[in-house]
Structure 1
């Protein structure tokens, strides 16, 4: 539901015991990034660091895209062989490289197949020679090495070199949550509670381990497979924070995606894992309507809405949504984090426990899908316009970005003063 702006990466935890996935000793055979320019950017400049990165769920490209210096008359088989040769030999000894399915500023994701079992996986390759890559890699590995839950993406194994880390992960092929809703043709409150139960189960497990996701949003909730009985999986732990039991549970780093950020993060106050529950309130609101509870192109106005907890149930399909469902959302979108429901309390809410049995069973699909498609179209046009502006006025764009960052710092300071009374 929209591309967030710049994310602030958290400091990697220094005291987490990592012992569930065996660490592979660094391979020192390669001294340079041998495939840095090998894959051709497929339009639009690739994924930007500030946008939600689609690590294992976007549709694969039709094939492996090679850089322009590759000879056009060269047979495809030869080109693919050369591409595979760029990977660490320990990886290619075990996995067949199939297709590039995503790329970011310092990472690439390829679809692979295990040679012995023929099981498909995704390999996320992170360039750790860059500071941002190291931070994301360390943060994500700190979490994924500890978790084992049916509703959380699974880390299979890790290969490390001097400048790169290869994370072999489950491949979620069922698509994003809202893509499925649009294609489904029918969606009721009962369907919504089934989705939220799975997500809440995963979040409760994370919070029990002292892990806060800090970037929960629809793009990070994927279906494992295309079937109707597919489970939902939580992905993308690049901003997650992991603490050992008994440690101070307060966090201070400002991070996340603007429309999903909890009020306490905006005012730079120490916060807890309750920020995940706020994000789940936003997701629940979108799930039942296809619209955002807090949305404004002007960042200052957006933050004011969030800080006031200002949202409404006007427009379609809200008249058809039960009061019990609205009560569930209200108990999550509570400005006071201490009054917000925990994951366990949310799982015990009457609307979820009864699987919306006492709620309206009206099909909300038409209104939800129309709202989702309308917003997607609007965002697409905004993105194209922004890309066009950036390509022709890069210097001016950099100045504007710095101005926005300065405005954001000043805005946060004012809100903090107001918040503290």
Structure 2
């Protein structure tokens, strides 16, 4: 894996896996005066619940400072918001920013209910395309495990999407903060992720950027539902007959149709399926590959495919080269490994579908026959080691990533150009 966790070829993710694991060791320096400001902003007290008291105090102080800065930034963005929007919603804080968008936390003035508003710039053609693509998906979905669009305000220069506000943190945040994590806990999270992804696939929607950062808990409580978020790269599947002459996606497909064929090369490299990297026509099966990678990470704190160089990373992926060596794999059940093996299959036709994956014995029984050993220590150790390696290879990676946002809504570029996949040749 190279420095950072950038997308290929839509713009780099605003919070990659590298920056997630770096937060495990970020407070080894309480004084962060020599750190880039963006790196300091990405720290979260949630990760340091077992830290020393001085680290906890520093975390609280920085959290308050960060919250104040975001409120100040939100005040600046208020001027850009249309009066029709601010008449209904009170702007509270900036959550994140992207190439074409700004995301703010708001409260409905009448009900005081919190939401997120994604403001998208649509003057440029590329911004209009991104917005139209995302709206097409969000307007179709209504499921408990998929982020919900509440309403839309459309103007000539900007579009405002009012969304559910997910405040429970990312999937890996929850894994690390619990202090206790077993295979049963993993199956509970994966059941919800599979329910959301299966619903999308039934609608003919392929997400194309599934990763732990895009799986968010709705609230901090233990009974929170897990939401599939961030549809910046999602698309309706296209059959070969309706694909555009330039090979890009044109949308189409019908419910229950499994002959979908997409062609655009995009996504986050570590989670991209082999057929995407090889520039073959692909289907919603690419999402299932990504879920296999996610399951591997959730159970171990490490990546199945990891190389210093992107070309070598791509070669490992297209060869399906990974193993179950090291901690905590000796303590993980064979059923859990079988679940991953059936998702990380090179042949997409042989890969489990979402409907099949949710019926896998490991998921159905919620790991009833598995060891209830606490995997938390091994997972955390692997995350720390990975953070240390990543920092030594690319110390500026965190600074190059944009500010993450609690709702997971960061704007994406939808470039149709080619990717680094040609390095495989």
Q: TM-score, normalised by structure 1?
A: 0.76
| 1:123 counterpart residue number | 117
| 1:408 counterpart residue number | 420
| 2:215 counterpart residue number | 221
Computing the radius of gyration over CA atoms, which structure comes out larger, 1 or 2? 1
Q: 1:325 is matched with which residue: 336, 346, 349?
A: 336
For 2:419 and 2:77, the matched residues in 1 are separated by 45
Shift in Å, 1:273: 0.4
Unaligned runs of at least 5 residues, structure 2: 12-35, 42-62, 237-251, 402-416
Matched, 1:205 2:205: no
| 2:68 counterpart residue number | 62
| 1:169 counterpart residue number | 163
| 1:143 counterpart residue number | 137
Unaligned runs of at least 5 residues, structure 1: 11-41, 48-58, 68-78, 391-404, 415-421
Q: TM-score, normalised by structure 2?
A: 0.75
Map residues 12-91 of structure 1 onto 2, 5 A cutoff: 43-44=37-38, 61-64=67-70, 80=75, 83-91=77-85
| 2:185 counterpart residue number | 191
Shift in Å, 1:138: 1.6
Matched, 1:358 2:369: yes
Q: 1:208 to 1:411 in 2, by over 3 A?
A: same
Comparing both chains, which one has the higher relative contact order based on Cα–Cα distances under 8 Å and sequence gaps of 6 or more? 2
For 1:195 and 1:143, the matched residues in 2 are separated by 23
For 2:418 and 2:260, the matched residues in 1 are separated by 29
**What secondary structure sits across from 1:61 in the alignment?**
helix
Which is further off, 208-217 or 85-94?
85-94
Question: 1:214–1:240: 8 Å Cα contact kept in structure 2?
Answer: yes
Shift in Å, 1:386: 4.9
| 1:274 counterpart residue number | 285
**What secondary structure sits across from 2:337 in the alignment?**
helix
For 1:193 and 1:163, the matched residues in 2 are separated by 44
Q: 1:388 to 1:103 in 2, by over 3 A?
A: closer
Q: 1:133 is matched with which residue: 103, 127, 136?
A: 127
| 1:4 counterpart residue number | 5
Map residues 340-355 of structure 1 onto 2, 5 A cutoff: 340-355=351-366
Give a deviation string over 1:215-261, Cα, whole Å, max 9, x none.
Answer: 00000000100111111000000100113417761000000000000
For 1:274 and 1:215, the matched residues in 2 are separated by 12
Computed over aligned residues only, the root mean square deviation of the Cα atoms, in angstroms, reads 2.8
The total of aligned residue pairs comes to 345
For 2:275 and 2:144, the matched residues in 1 are separated by 30
